Structures are given as structure tokens and as C-alpha cells.
């Protein structure tokens, strides 16, 4: 049966679009900056301390990650304003991390929702700059997806492009399913943060550094995620992602892609 009024074919990628896609690939590369590598190294040196914690304490990490994301999802809907620049949010995150690290692991755990909300706001701001409504349910769910974009480890530093083109079901069960997918990935990142903050007082400096680095990391990944979404609206998701993956492959940068 012939399709009545079929959608017009997508506009072919022009040189400007290709250049922008290449710039997004470079943003992904920058996410693994020297500072992030230093923070990852520092966290790795004290991970044994976390392993010696009681099993119940270690098990709190997944719960803490999910709770922080849930609170951030709700809180960030009403916190956009004139302090939405990437730089401001990095400063807020740095101060929060320093305070959270002063008392070691207990205060670091208590500070997680604050730090996560600051990072969420940063991601939300990037979404707005890419033409999305920062207060909409869909955009806030897309912001949650950015927290599932891996972490600073060697094996998991690529944006998950299976999230870019997927259509969201804007329901409570859909959000909980998304949280169930994203929270374990975010918990793995938080393990590095908490490991570096485990020692009181010294943890203040580590908390400031990790919050600054992680905010920068997720801001860069947000630019990739929402930049690809914006280009996909104009040129079609398939050819945008195909070009993105082509440049990634040429530069040997990891990426998660649907099979």
C-alpha cells in the first residue's frame, strides 16, 4: 500500500553540520581531560579503603545514586535562572564538594544530592542552549540519561548513542525504568568520588577537585548528547549518528551503539 503524504527525506548533511559533529567528537575527547585523569588516579589509590568498609555501607552506594538522581530530577525543574552558566555551576559544585569532604565519608554521602543537583542544573542549561525546554518532563528525563553516559574510567568513557534517538514514554514507570538503568552507571562514578573523600579534612580538597572534574565531565557529555539531538531534528537522526560514529571510529574514541 502506498504511503499517503510520506515524510520528506532528511536534508543531506552540509559541511557546517559535519564540522559541528566533529566538534562534538572533540568535546567527548576533552571529557577525559588531564584533571579527570588525575582525579581518577587519586580515587584509585584509596579504593581499597572503600573495600574495607562494612558490606552494608558499600551497598548504600546504588541507593545513594538513585536517591540523588530522583531528588535532582525534582529540584532542578524549578532552579533555572541567571546562574546557569557552566562556570557558575562548576564553582557551586567545587564549594559543595569541599564542604562535603570535610567530615570524610558520612558528610560526603550527605552532600551527594547537592552535588548531583548542581550537575543536573548544568546539564539542564546545556539542553536549553540546544533548543530544548529545560522545564519539560521530556527534557528532564533526557538530562537523567546524560548521567548514564559512562564515567572517567578507561573502559567506559563514551556517550551512549542508543539513548540519543530513542523515544521516551513520559510516564512514572518509564522514569523509574530509566533510573534503574542510569543509577548503577552513576554509582560507579560516585565510587571514585567517595573513595577520594574518605579521609576527613583531606577529603575536602579531594571533594572540591572531584566535583569540579565531574561537573566538567557531565557538561561535556551533555553538549554531545543534546548537540546530537538538535542536529538530528534538522538532518535526521540516522545520518547524524552515522557521521558521528564515522568520526569516532576515525579517531578511535569509544562509543556505545545499539546492535
Q: Which pLDDT band holds residue 82 (cuts at 50, 70, 90)? A: very low
Q: Reply yes or no on whether the pLDDT at 257 is more than 60.
A: no
Q: What is the pLDDT of residues 170-199, one digit of tens each?
A: 777 888 888 888 888 888 777 777 776 666
Q: Reply yes or no on whether the pLDDT at 112 is more than 70.
A: yes
Task: Yes or no: say if 101 and 116 are a contact pair by the CB < 8 Å rule.
Answer: no
Where do we find the cell 548504600? 60
Phi-psi region of 104 (alpha: psi -120 to 50; beta: other; left: phi over 0): left
Kindly report the CA angle at 65 between 185 and 174, in degrees rounded to 5?
Answer: 75
Q: What is the pLDDT of residues 12-53, one digit of tens each?
A: 999 999 999 999 999 988 887 766 676 666 666 655 655 655
Greater model confidence, 23 or 211 = 23
- Write the CA distances from 124 to 10, 19, 74, 92, integer angstroms: 28, 24, 12, 15
Task: Yes or no: say if 98 and 194 are a contact pair by the CB < 8 Å rule.
Answer: no
As a whole-number percent, the residues of the chain with pLDDT over 90 amount to: 22
C-alpha cell at 202: 583531606
CA-nearest of 132, 168, 167, 164 to 241 is 164
Q: Which pLDDT band holds residue 259 (cuts at 50, 70, 90)? A: very low
Lowest mean pLDDT among 114-128, 187-201, 227-241: 187-201
Phi, psi of 160, deg, nearest 5: -85, 100
- Give the three-class secondary structure for 256: strand
Kindly report the CA angle at 114 between 109 and 117, in degrees rounded to 5?
Answer: 125
In the prediction, which pLDDT does 1 show?
45
- Give the three-class secondary structure for 237: helix
Greater model confidence, 83 or 159 = 159
Kindly report the CA angle at 100 between 37 and 86, in degrees rounded to 5?
Answer: 55
- Give the three-class secondary structure for 189: helix
In the prediction, which pLDDT does 83 show?
44
Give the Cα separation of 121 and 2 in Å (integer).
46
Task: Yes or no: say if 127 and 139 are a contact pair by the CB < 8 Å rule.
Answer: yes
Q: Reply yes or no on whether the pLDDT at 258 is more than 50.
A: no
Give the Cα separation of 142 and 147 in Å (integer).
9
Lowest mean pLDDT among 48-52, 153-157, 162-166, 236-240: 153-157
Q: pTM above the 0.75 mark?
A: yes
As a whole-number percent, the residues of the chain with pLDDT over 70 amount to: 60
CA-nearest of 182, 206, 186, 218 to 32 is 218
Amino acid at each position: 500500500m502506498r504511503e499517503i503524504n510520506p515524510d520528506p527525506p532528511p536534508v543531506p548533511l552540509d559541511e557546517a553540520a559535519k564540522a559541528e559533529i566533529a566538534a562534538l567528537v572533540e568535546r567527548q575527547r576533552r571529557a577525559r581531560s588531564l584533571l579527570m585523569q588525575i582525579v581518577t588516579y587519586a580515587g584509585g589509590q584509596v579504593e581499597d579503603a572503600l573495600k574495607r568498609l562494612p558490606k552494608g555501607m558499600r551497598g548504600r552506594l546504588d541507593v545513594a545514586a538513585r536517591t540523588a538522581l530522583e531528588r535532582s530530577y525534582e529540584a532542578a525543574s524549578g532552579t533555572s535562572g541567571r546562574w546557569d552558566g557552566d562556570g557558575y555551576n562548576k564553582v557551586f559544585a567545587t564549594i559543595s564538594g569541599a564542604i562535603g569532604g570535610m567530615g570524610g565519608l558520612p558528610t560526603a554521602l550527605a552532600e551527594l544530592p547537592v552535588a548531583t543537583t548542581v550537575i543536573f542544573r548544568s546539564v539542564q542549561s546545556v539542553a536549553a542552549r540546544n533548543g530544548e525546554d529545560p522545564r519539560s518532563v521530556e527534557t528532564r528525563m533526557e538530562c537523567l540519561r546524560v548521567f548514564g553516559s559512562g564515567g572517567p574510567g578507561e573502559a567506559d568513557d563514551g556517550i551512549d548513542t542508543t539513548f540519543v534517538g530513542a523515544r521516551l514514554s513520559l510516564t512514572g514507570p518509564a522514569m523509574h525504568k530509566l533510573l534503574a538503568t542510569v543509577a548503577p552507571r552513576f554509582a560507579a562514578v560516585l565510587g571514585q568520588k567517595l573513595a577520594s573523600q574518605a579521609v576527613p579534612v583531606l577529603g575536602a580538597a579531594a571533594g572540591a577537585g572531584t566535583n569540579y572534574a565531574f561537573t566538567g565531565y557531565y557538561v561535556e557529555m551533555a553538549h554531545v548528547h543534546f548537540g546530537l539531538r538538535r542536529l538530528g531534528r534538522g538532518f535526521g537522526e540516522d545520518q547524524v549518528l552515522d557521521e558521528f560514529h564515522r568520526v569516532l571510529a576515525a579517531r578511535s574514541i569509544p562509543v556505545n551503539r545499539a546492535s
